[in-house]
Structure 1
């Protein structure tokens, strides 16, 4: 369980948030699978992954499968912690009562 909620700007970008969600649900995920699921170009995905790898949130491993080189990505402990605390921060935002908000006045037409 995360320590305390912490909003993470790096993770929050839509594609990186989706990458973290996919990576957190698996032991590892291949580059091609991420590209297929996110429906983005190789260059766009590479850019997003580089930021997560540089931050230490993902690790990458080069493997050969079926005689073809592949890149396999895994979420690090640091990345998993950052992702979980970010999710907790989002839950706080979503679940926070709207302080001082009054219900919208209902109008009737008669």
Structure 2
């Protein structure tokens, strides 16, 4: 039986990855928009994004819109695959596979 990915399994990180997984493979979302969608504080979201980025699941790109810094976020191909594996493992667990 496949194990659940501990990096993704934390509730806040699962919400982040699930939200990012709804984007197209080449799409990004801004940090403030993700923060708004998830109703998380900037500090809490940053902490979870750092863990996901360290695992290679999330990519952050920073740029400027005029003089204002903007951070864009997206799942990496590795992150997308990890989320697919996670959902398959969770589905198997819920169905009692391997029991």
TM-score by length of 1: 0.78
In structure 2, distance between residues paired with 1:9 and 1:20: 13
In structure 1, distance between residues paired with 2:50 and 2:4: 20
Flag structure 1 segments of 5+ consecutive residues without an equivalent: 100-110
Query: How many residues align structurally?
Result: 95
Report how far residue 6 of structure 1 moved.
Answer: 4.4
CA RMSD in angstroms, aligned pairs only? 1.9
Report how far residue 29 of structure 1 moved.
Answer: 1.4
**Which has the higher Rg, Structure 1 or Structure 2?**
1
Q: Secondary structure at the match of 1:56?
A: coil
Tell me the equivalent position of 2:20: 23
Residue pair 1:6, 1:88 contacting (<8 A) in 2 also? no
From the two aligned structures, give the one with the greater helix fraction: 2
Deviations 1:68-103 (A, max 9, x none): 211101111111111100000110111227x7xxxx
Flag structure 2 segments of 5+ consecutive residues without an equivalent: none
